Amino acid sequence: MDSSPEVAVTFSLQEARELLPEVKHLTADAVRRTESLASQLQGLAEDDPDYVRLAAALKAVIEQWADQVHSMGLEAKGLWLVDFDNGQGYYCWSYPEPTISHYHGYDDGFDGRMTIQ
* In-domain check, residue 102: yes
Decide: residue 61, CB within 10 A, 0-12 exposed, 13-18 middle, 19+ buried. middle
Flag whether 4 is in a domain.
no
Domain total for the chain?
1
pLDDT tens digit string along 5-54? Answer: 456 799 999 999 999 999 999 999 999 999 999 999 999 999 999 999 99
- Does residue 3 lie in a domain region? no
Task: Please tell me the pTM assigned to this model.
Answer: 0.88
Asked if the structure places residue 7 within a domain, the reply is no
In a domain, 5, yes or no: no
Question: Tens digit of pLDDT for each residue in 51-88?
Answer: 999 999 999 999 999 999 999 999 999 999 999 999 99
The answer to the question of residue 44 being in a domain is: yes
Q: Which domain holds residue 111?
A: 13-115
Indicate whether 99 belongs to any domain: yes
Determine, yes or no, domain membership for 42.
yes
